[in-house]
């Protein structure tokens, strides 16, 4: 296992990526493990929307983090096509992992290179519990 993939919570020492390039690499691995089953190479399928050109990716990175944490359900429109799928919450992912996936997805499918800190994800997670 790559050292930055292990949070080592039992020792209380999270190991977040130190650089954006490391966060992108971690995000790619996590995307392939957790997201590509439905979104494939970003092209989506009849129940999971195409991520390329998605309006969500044009929003601040926190919007995508919220969707990953809380899931999404209902009708989405993409290129005139209706999708009525359910994305289950991925809240089992650690804050560092969600931040990495967001950074990777936004760069790979939205041509946006914005950092997102694990602390920002933790704030979103806390807000969803209220």
Tens digits of per-residue pLDDT, 19-37?
Answer: 889 999 999 999 999 999 9
Number of compact structural domains in the chain: 1
* Residue 86 in domain: yes
Dihedral sign, CA of 117, 118, 121, 123?
negative
* Residue 10 in domain: no
Q: What angle do CA 92, 108, 26 make, to 5 degrees?
A: 45
CB burial string 69-88: b at 16+ within 10 A, e below: bbeeeeebeeeeeebebebe
Distances in whole angstroms, Cα of residue 49 to Cα of each of 9, 15, 72, 82, 83: 34, 32, 11, 9, 7
| Residue span of the structural domain in which 77 resides | 18-129
* Residue 79 in domain: yes
Q: How far apart are CA 102 and CA 27, in angstroms?
A: 7
- The whole model's pTM is what? 0.80
User: Could you say which residues of the chain have pLDDT below 50?
Assistant: 1-11, 13, 17
* Residue 117 in domain: yes
Question: What is the model's pLDDT at position 98?
Answer: 97
CATH of the domain at 31: 1.10.760.10
């Amino acid at each position: 296992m790559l050292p930055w993939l292990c949070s080592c919570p039992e020792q209380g020492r999270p190991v977040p990526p130190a650089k954006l390039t490391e966060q992108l690499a971690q995000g790619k691995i996590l995307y392939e493990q957790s997201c590509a089953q439905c979104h494939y190479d970003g092209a989506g399928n009849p129940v999971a929307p195409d991520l390329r050109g998605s309006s969500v990716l044009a929003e601040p990175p926190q919007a995508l983090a919220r969707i990953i944490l809380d899931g999404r359900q209902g009708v989405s429109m993409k290129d005139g096509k209706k999708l009525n799928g359910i994305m289950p919450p991925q809240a089992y992912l650690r804050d560092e992992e969600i931040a990495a996936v967001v950074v990777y997805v936004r760069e790979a499918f939205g041509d946006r290179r914005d950092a997102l800190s694990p602390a920002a994800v933790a704030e979103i997670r806390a807000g969803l519990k209220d």
